[in-house]
Amino acid sequence: MAKRFPENFLWGGAVAANQIEGAYLEDGKKLNVTDVLVGIMNQPDLKWNGSKWEPALVPNKKYLSHEAIDFYHRYHEDLEYMHQMGFKAFRTSISWGRIFPNGDEAEPNEAGLKFYDDLFDEMIRLGMEPVITLSHYEMPLHLLTEYGGWLNKKMIDFWMNYVTVVFNRYKGKVKYYMTFNEVNNIFRMPFAAGGVLDINPKNTERVNADLTMQQLYQATHYLFVAHAKTVKLGHEIDPEMKVGCMLSLSHIATYPYTCDPDDILGVVDHRRKHYLFLDVMCKGQYPGYVKRIWRENDVHVEMSEDELNTIANFTSDYIAFSYYRSTVYHKDAAIRVDTGGSAGLNNPYLKETSPEPWCWPVDPKGLRFVCNDLNDRYGLPLFIVENGIGLDEAVDENGKIQDDFRKRYIHDHLVQVQESIEDGCEIMGYLYWGPIDIVSAGTGEMRKRYGFVYVDRNNDGEGSLDRYKKDSFDYFAKVIASNGEDLTYTE
């Protein structure tokens, strides 16, 4: 019997406002956190003026995200490409600073609201469900420099003001929301992923140099409260609305290097750093293992019974996640984390990595492992909202972009999505990350291209911004047209 995808499966692609829109100070928008970064793994361009942090954009430095691929002005053209591929859904984010430029205003910016009205209307006209991230590394910078971001409990009220405006404005247009993109990266990337800034630093030469576990766990708690309140509000405003969490879950596919119990327990500890977010946002409770961490590190998170009740009663409707690669853990080897997930030892059982310079291990079965693990632990619908491969590409002498590696990557991962569905996982959809070339979040460059559509812009900022279809464009269109029954490809 042939393996099938559900009839209502949401095929499509995913992007983020800060990586695609450009127009970074247009129509009332002010700076957000990623506007002062070139790649979220780097230090932000802020300086200490003697009393507070302030923006310090460097003249002649290439902040490619400031113009990105000019989706803000070209979205009609770009969505038409997605329509030609047959997209059923398109994920993007609302740039919070377009709605509340500083983040703490009482009234929203109408120009920003209208832009997303028009954008969502165009998606719907073309037959695509808008799938919207409320915060995708796009907090207004003012909220960090003035309040410290999520280190400050006032953030919950600022957030709820923003979310209330958005939910009411787009009621009936947007059914699927996610709160905070990959918020489980807060401990590695607190400025961009967590929206956290130490505004009383001892070290004023480096942002967040002195952040403590106490601060990060307290900020995480406020984020959990805000997430639960968002779920509650969404259901009150529109009972049909679905509000999910969105996490980077490549980390779950971390394998022990040996059967040494220390390797096994090391993997358990590593995964728990990410299960914590799922346990709270999906089960509604703090697990015992984090309470041990708090005891042993003298962490005392301030929380009220009312907050804990809110977290317990308003959990995620679904789990949205990114998956790019797996890794291998050894007790004596370093393991690092970047935007693709964890990176430890090489896995000798995997056949290939992506081409240089990134060389990410390709592990489609790791995606099946993650889906089954999430299904067994949480029993919620799963939404694969990021999976893709970045390649260093150029137009050849015939005006073509041949990306056979991408076709094979998608094929192999979708085979494992089929297997996961056969295993009993309820999977809502598959949104390929970066269906059009965008600015890389991790490296801040254009060279790392994910798209089915090539954009003529280079790392030096030069280029016409013209769009061209790659070979994978027709392949993914065929996959969608067959609802995943035809995954065959040619190289």
Q: Which residues are catalytic?
A: 386
Helical (H) or strand (E) element with 337: strand 336-338
Q: 357: cis peptide before it, omega within 30°?
A: yes
97, 30 Cβ separation under 8 angstroms: yes
**Tokens at 148, concatenated:** 């410290």
CA distance 397 to 171: 48
- Shortest CA distance to 176 belongs to which of 319, 284, 76, 36? 319
Q: From the CB of residue 181, how many other CB atoms can be counted at a distance below 10 Å?
A: 26
18, 38 Cβ separation under 8 angstroms: no
Helical (H) or strand (E) element with 407: helix 404-423
483, 7 Cβ separation under 8 angstroms: yes
108, 160 Cβ separation under 8 angstroms: no
Q: How far is CA 157 from CA 17, 143, 145, 164, in A?
A: 23, 12, 17, 10
CA distance 79 to 59: 33
What are the backbone dihedrals phi and psi of residue 325, each rounded to the nearest 5 degrees, phi first? -160, 165
CA distance 417 to 283: 24
